[in-house]
Structure 1
Amino acid sequence: MKNEWKKCRRILCIRPDNIGDLLMSTPAIRALKQTFNCHITVLASSLGATVVPEVPEIDDAIVFDVPWVQTTGTPDPAQFSQLVKQLKDGRFDAAVIFSVYSQNPMPSIMLAYLAEIPLRLAYCRENPYQLLTHWIPDEEPYTFIRHQVMRDLELVAQVGAVTDKQQLSIRTREILWPVVCEKLLLTGLDLRRPWIILHPEVSEQKRKYPVKDWIAAGRKIRAATNCQLLITGKNNAAEAREIAAGIGGPAFSAAGLFDLEELIILIKHAPLLLSVNTGTIHIAAAVHTPVLVLYALTNPQHTPWRVTNKVLYFDVPAPLQSKNEVVKHVYRSFSAEKLPLATPDTIAEATLAMLELTAASSGSFEEPHALS
């Protein structure tokens, strides 16, 4: 059955969630492109699509906010029918549906089926019968948990797509660095002195680390190092200003200052990114910037990939915990483990240790923590 895929010249990759999710699928997308020498189109959300121009392996994108994942849009059924027609008109030879183990892939599978795409590959917990031509029974998370990158790579390997380069893919536009420097100077940052990034913005409230603890951690980092602290984000200007003011001293708000292309270069030039688990940690992994992650107890398979990193955990408030039974199963297993906690003290200690590590050694990375 793999021989059918060798003839594919136009492949649709369905990844309709967020920036970080799409970035974690880029090694698998690279495997498809390198193996089959094909044109790659991604079906992406309006949020995920913002990073598409920065991924060299992607040739084209169809932007649509589907109603079965959390997005900013709410399409009506008429728009959905138009999407099916658009996919039919694309004359795709195959569709690959990428998914998180806690997502139900069936709506995306049905979408590819209705679009009459001949070959359709996906993980699925239930038997999809004729909806998929290539069905991989989904054993996660009850049997094991893999990193999302490996989940996606092993999916496409089922049809013969492989790559020897498993790094996340993102384009860096170094020509923008002077523009970024000018904006940094406007914040008050002194480019002659060391600085690190603090990124508190989240796409979901359950991942939010308390502002008071950001401030406490920032003060301890400032006391332990000589680093300036740059607080970033897109739509969190008030929060960033509050954190910078609370930390005091060399802490500066840059929220809303950089577009995505500029943010990528900013992260590339930073010696360390301190962030909650969101798209920025995957950008950092793609550009080889060390990452310290304050990780809400949600998806263990989304930690930084193939980059120097440290993960500290914090709990999700009870009212915000997922009602998804698969996520709840993983949360219960999390609760049984002794995990390093994200407290202001441990954050400052880890920051100092990582800065010392990156100063002593460059270019090294640690493999993601094995999950079982």
Structure 2
Amino acid sequence: MPNIQRILFVELLGGIGDVVIALPAIHALARSHPHAHVTVLTFAPGGELLTADPLIHQVIYAAKGQARRAIEQLLAPESLAGTQNLFDLIVSDTNYDGITDVIQTYCTIAYEVFHHPVVAITNLWRSPPPDERVGDRFLTLLENDKLIISEVIDRTKADIHLTSTERIAVQQALGALYRPLVVLCIDAGMPIKQWPIEHFIIVGRALQQHYGATVIIPEGADFNQTEQVVQAIGGTAQVWSRGSLRQFAAMLAAADLMIAADTGPARIAAALQVPTITLFGPSWHGRYGQPDPHINVQGGLTCSERVIHNFTEQQCWYSGECPFAWRTCLEDISPDRVLKAAAAVLQRQPQAQEKATQPEDCLSQTVPIATPASVAAWKTVQNVLIMRLDNIGDVLMTSPALRALRQNLPHTKLTLMASPAGALTAPLLPWIDEVLPWRVVWQDLGRLPFDPDREWSLIKTLTDRQFDAAIIFTSFSQSPHPAGFICALAGIPLRLGESKEQDTQTLTDAVPTAPDSIHQVDRNLRLLEFIDFSIVDRRLTLQIPSLFRSFSLPDRYLLLNPWTTCQSRNYNPQRFAMAAQQLSQKTGWPTVVTGMEKDRERAAPLLSILGNWAIDLIGATTLSDLVALIANAQLVLTNNTSTMHIADATQTPSVVLFAGTEQEQQWRPRHSQSRLLRRPTVCSPCYAFSCPYDLQCLDITPETVVAAGLDLLQEAAMEVMGRGHGVEMKNPLIHPSVPSCVKF
């Protein structure tokens, strides 16, 4: 392969879609020549899609109608001032208007004057087979010419790079729109590529009715028509007002499905890995279709005028009119065909999301191992500090790691440093020898006053205890370095943590970062795997206390803990009460209501709804009591809070109203029977403490909660029967007045 330092890619075919089609070839060239400077000459606005691309160093715009002039200016003789300015490789997908001649002249002058050979590819569409996609043809020819290497070729996608700022801005603009979010692009640059507007309206209404979809219609050339379509669809349908192409792309990236004719927007959506249904009429899906798993729907299959190898030779292309009775062969595509394709996409998405939350998928990346010297040092530690300075639930989720530490270091002293709230977990964690409560300034959300003496006191405390190692557990959004710095100042010689930042001296063993989406339990365990500790059991486990206090409880009860410290995670307490009351009526079991004393002020309406079904233990329990109560309950109703993690550890079935603040796969129960209820919204995950959208993600009816609870109880009953218990009783967990198979 030649030594290539400067690459020019000429993409002047004129369409936004043409830029996207060329992207895999541009990326393959950049990856094949990682030290080369890559320049792309193209038109606006398509070039906007390339401006944040880390593989493209320069985008130069040609004025509309001035393709040849633009290439002449770029390759003018005055640019040949020295070999350092010369291109080594020029690739063009454009050969009209004498552009090929301009490139060849440049190559000739570069060689004759500077003895600098320039490789030029001026026809990326040589002798194409009938059903080879255009983008694939580009890659095939470049590979045959030995200008790209096979290992970097990706024929399945064309990546468009969006910044996090762009994605966040669109997320804020969309707000809490319900998912699935479906974009219907009703516009097309040519009338013969326009799917009938009335078909789009039928599809939009059906998607709302059957899937609860939010339908977005991007503003097209005719704003009045866009408004009319939105009004005709009704419901949650909305207009996406025209802005920059990058803003439009960022909106598409947030979508769950895009339906459009064979136009640039369809290609942008597919390049952003958004499931796309592309409707083809005069153009041929075998040439211009999206790669799997995107869906291409072809109209006019039997058209006698069709020229498969080049649709620009068809009579309709230059006239813009279909020579037959209909306006366009896209009329051959019925709304029913499109809805069937949409069903195939939308019905598989929840399954894909569910699969992504399974524990084994969180372990898809092999955890690297520290150096042999470091591993050997960790095997001999005698006094270890374990830092998890968050809330109760976060500390509970370290239990598999704490258990593994005790198994690997049976004679080592283990001290858990936790927040004052987290320190309450001590009786539940039998693997810990001591708990050190401390409120640290870097995780206090600004409530602690500025006090350097307090920080020096922490350093002195850690120094005096003479720890020989520190393990710093953090979530995906936290840095281990503040804690690592404190430990370094305290003279702790071994310091282990997972770091997204470039490693500094704060950590002696920095674990390479894992994907944000992995479960927190596995994030914790990765630290121990890095130092070659064995992991036998990945389940949450707690030491379950006995119910030694006299709560006057029946043998069977439901447990409702409807509170969190975060407003944006709180399901409506009255709805929780209505659901619990219905479950109590159906099962015959009372509902134990738990919470802290500070929750009592807001508990009156809830307790009133529950009436005689309530057993009020608000403010009457310790954390150990709560664990025992959950362990002995038949079913737990709660939010995304520590109660959810306790139920997972005690194997108690739970219905969790899981707000859109977090990603489910990071925190959800994994080894207990559970149902997580949430209405998917575009704003999720927001990580916000308060919700500006009236908690639309938790707009769940009490009847839905009841159905989930009865479903779990049914599962629990069947599991008991499967173990050979309770055979005499057809359904031992359901009150006799309730049918054994309750379906909603």
Same fold (TM > 0.5):
yes
Name the residue aligned to 1:247: 610
Cα offsets for 1:71-103 (capped at 9, x unmatched)? 797263211210111111111111111001012
2:385 to 12, 33, 37: 12
Root-mean-square deviation (Å):
2.7
Q: Which of 525, 538, 542 matches 1:170?
A: 542
The one-letter code of the counterpart of 1:346 is T
- The structural deviation recorded for 1:363 is 11
Measure, in 1, the Cα distance between the counterparts of 2:644 and 2:627.
11
Q: Deviations over 1:7-55 (max 9, x none)?
A: 1111111100111111111111221221122211111000000111321
Provide the rounded CA distance (Å) in 1 between the counterparts of 2:522 and 2:698.
24
Corresponding position: 1:161 with 2:533? yes
CA distance in 2, matches of 1:363, 1:40: 42
Contact persistence 1:221–1:351 (CA under 8 A): yes
1:215 pairs with 2:587:
no
Matched, 1:103 2:461: no
Residues 470, 495 of structure 2: 8 Å contact kept: yes
* One-letter amino acid of the structure 2 residue matched with residue 148 of structure 1: Q
Aligned residue for 2:524?
152
Candidates 661, 681, 697, aligned match of 1:298: 661
Is the CA contact (8 Å cut-off) linking 1:295 and 1:314 kept in structure 2? no
Q: Any conservation in 2 of the 1:17–1:71 contact (CA below 8 Å)? A: no
* Greater Cα radius of gyration, structure 1 or 2: 2
**Cα-to-partner distance string for 1:263-322 (whole Å, 9 max, x where unaligned):** 22111111111111111122222222122111111232111232121111257998x954
How many angstroms does 1:171 deviate by?
1.7
For 1:174-213, list aligned pairs within 5 A: 174=546, 177-179=547-549, 182-183=550-551, 185=552, 191=554, 194-213=556-575
Secondary structure at 1:248 match in 2: helix
Question: For the structure 1 residues 109 and 178, does the alpha-carbon distance in structure 2 shift closer, same or farther, using more than 3 Å as the test?
Answer: closer
Structure-1 separation of matches of 2:594 and 2:678 = 21
Would you say how many aligned residue pairs link Structure 1 and Structure 2? 337
Task: Give the corresponding residue for 1:354.
Answer: 712
Higher mean displacement: 24-33 or 248-257: 248-257
Q: Percent identity?
A: 32
For 1:363 and 1:257, locate their aligned partners in 2 and report how far apart those are by CA, in whole Å: 35
1:40 aligns with 2:414: yes
Which runs of structure 2 are paired with 1:115-134 in the superposition (5 Å)? 115-134=490-509
Partners of 1:164 and 1:363 in 2: how far apart?
A: 29
1:307 aligns to 2:672 (yes or no): yes
- Indicate how the Cα distance of structure 1 residues 42 and 73 shifts in structure 2: closer, same or farther if over 3 A, else same: farther
> 2:448 — aligned with what?
74
Partner Cα separation in structure 2 for residue 100 and residue 355 of structure 1? 33
1:110-156, Cα deviation, whole Å (9 max, x unpaired): 12222121111111111122211111222432xxx111111111121
Contact 2:659–2:698 under 8 Å retained in 1:
no
Query: Secondary structure of the equivalent of 2:638?
Result: strand
Distance in 2 between residues matched to 1:239 and 1:221, nearest whole Å: 22
Q: Please, which moves more after superposition, 67-76 or 124-133?
A: 67-76
Structure 2 counterpart of 1:238, which letter? Answer: E
Change in CA separation of 1:62 and 1:72 when aligned onto 2, cut-off 3 Å:
farther
| Amino acid of the structure 2 residue aligned with 1:155 | L
Give the whole-Å Cα distance in 2 for the aligned partners of 1:267 and 1:363: 22
2:415 partner SS: strand
Is the contact made by 1:17 and 1:48 (CA closer than 8 Å) also made in structure 2?
Answer: yes
Distance change (3 Å), C-alpha of 1:196 and 1:304: same
Query: 2:466 aligns to what?
Result: 91
Which blocks of at least 5 consecutive residues in structure 1 are unaligned? 325-334, 365-372
Q: Secondary structure at the match of 1:267?
A: helix
- Following the alignment from structure 1 to structure 2, what is the Cα–Cα distance between the partners of residues 48 and 196? 26
Distance in 2 between the 1:268 and 1:139 partners? 32
**Conserved? CA contact 1:224–1:348, under 8 Å:** no
Task: Give the CA deviation at 1:341.
Answer: 7.0
The answer (yes or no) to whether the contact 1:27–1:153 under 8 Å persists in 2 is: yes
Distance in 2, Cα, partners of 1:63 & 1:342? 38
State whether structure 2 residue 427 is matched by structure 1 residue 65: no
CA distance in 1 between counterparts of 2:379 and 2:543 reads: 28
* SS state at 1:152 partner: helix
Q: Secondary structure at the match of 2:620?
A: coil
- Normalised to the residue count of structure 1, the TM-score between the two structures is 0.83
In the TM superposition, what is the alpha-carbon distance from 1:259 to its structure 2 partner?
1.4
Distance in structure 2 (CA, Å) of the matches to 1:125 and 1:279:
26
In the alignment, does 2:435 pair up with 1:49? no
Shift of 1:347: 0.6
1:350 positional shift: 0.4
Out of 240, 245, 258, the position equivalent to 2:621 is 258
Query: Could you tell me how far apart the structure 2 residues matched to 1:315 and 1:74 are?
Result: 36
In structure 2, runs of 5+ residues without a counterpart are 1-373, 690-695, 723-744
Equivalent of 1:268 in 631, 651, 657 = 631
Q: CA deviation at 1:3?
A: 0.9
Question: C-alpha displacement at 1:349, in angstroms?
Answer: 0.3
SS of structure 1 residue aligned to 2:643: helix
Task: Confirm or deny: 8 A CA contact 2:496 2:510 kept in the other structure.
Answer: yes
Tell me if structure 1 keeps the 8 A contact 2:427–2:624.
Answer: no
* TM-score, structure 2 as length reference: 0.43
Looking at structure 1, the residues matched to 586 and 698 of structure 2 have their Cα atoms a distance apart, in angstroms, of 20
In 2, Cα distance between equivalents of 1:314 and 1:47: 31
Does the 8 A contact of 2:560 with 2:636 survive in 1?
yes
Q: Secondary structure at the match of 1:162?
A: coil
Q: Give a deviation string over 1:222-253, Cα, whole Å, max 9, x none.
A: 45432321211113123333212123341232
SS of structure 2 residue aligned to 1:170: coil
Q: Does the aligned pair in 2 maintain the 1:97–1:105 contact within 8 Å?
A: yes
C-alpha separation in 1, matches of 2:681 and 2:432: 35
2: distance between equivalents of 1:82 and 1:158? Answer: 31
CA deviation string 1:184-228 (max 9, x = no partner):
x3xxx6x15x32001012122221111232233234324543232
